[in-house]
């Protein structure tokens, strides 16, 4: 698969490791053959699930539906970003850009480097 999608959650919203494992399992079942859950990472105040995919936007859409079914409050602390499987630079795709973000892009800023709120563990 060409991309790696990382779903990063605020650790304060998901303080139960079993809940992370349950979500990882549910995503594995629900994402189908087009996307593959590769595992999880734990960091200071952050919990991340890693998904291999050829279409990050599709994987994110399906993942958001699965997350909503398990615990809707998790979406409030979710940051999703993807990178090429062999790359280093992440592009944040959720939460969605605001109008001011679009204006910044027009002024020459590169969204790939404006990954505010996302930290690579």
Express each pLDDT in 88-114 by its tens digit.
999 999 998 654 544 444 444 444 434
The full set of domain ranges for the chain reads 3-113
Q: How far apart are CA 18 and CA 13, in angstroms?
A: 13
Q: Count CB neighbours of 15 within 10 A.
A: 10
Which of 75, 93, 8 is closest to 44 using CA atoms? 8
Q: What is the pLDDT of residue 15?
A: 64
Rank 39-43, 49-53, 72-76 by mean pLDDT and report only the highest: 49-53
Q: Classify domain 3-113 at the CATH topology level.
A: Alpha-Beta Plaits (3.30.70)
User: Which pTM does this prediction carry?
Assistant: 0.78
Residue 102's pLDDT is 47
Task: Read off the pLDDT of residues 2-32 as tens digits, 9 standing for 90 and up.
Answer: 999 999 998 776 667 788 889 999 999 999 8
Q: How would you list the strands of the sheet with 35-43, edge to edge?
A: 35-43, 46-53, 3-10, 79-84, 91-94
Which residues, including other chains, have CB under 8 Å from residue 31's CB and lie 6 or more apart? 37, 51, 59, 62, 63, 66
């Amino acid at each position: 698969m060409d991309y790696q999608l990382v779903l990063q959650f605020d650790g304060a919203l998901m303080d139960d490791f079993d809940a992370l494992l349950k979500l990882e399992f549910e995503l594995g079942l629900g994402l189908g053959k087009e996307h593959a859950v590769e595992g999880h990472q734990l960091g200071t105040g952050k919990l991340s699930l890693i998904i291999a995919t050829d279409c990050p936007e599709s994987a994110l859409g399906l993942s958001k539906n699965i997350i909503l079914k398990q615990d809707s409050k998790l979406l409030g602390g979710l940051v999703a970003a993807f990178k090429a499987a062999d790359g280093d630079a992440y592009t944040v795709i959720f939460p969605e850009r605001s109008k001011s973000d679009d204006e910044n892009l027009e002024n020459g800023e590169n969204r790939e480097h404006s990954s505010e709120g996302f930290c690579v563990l």
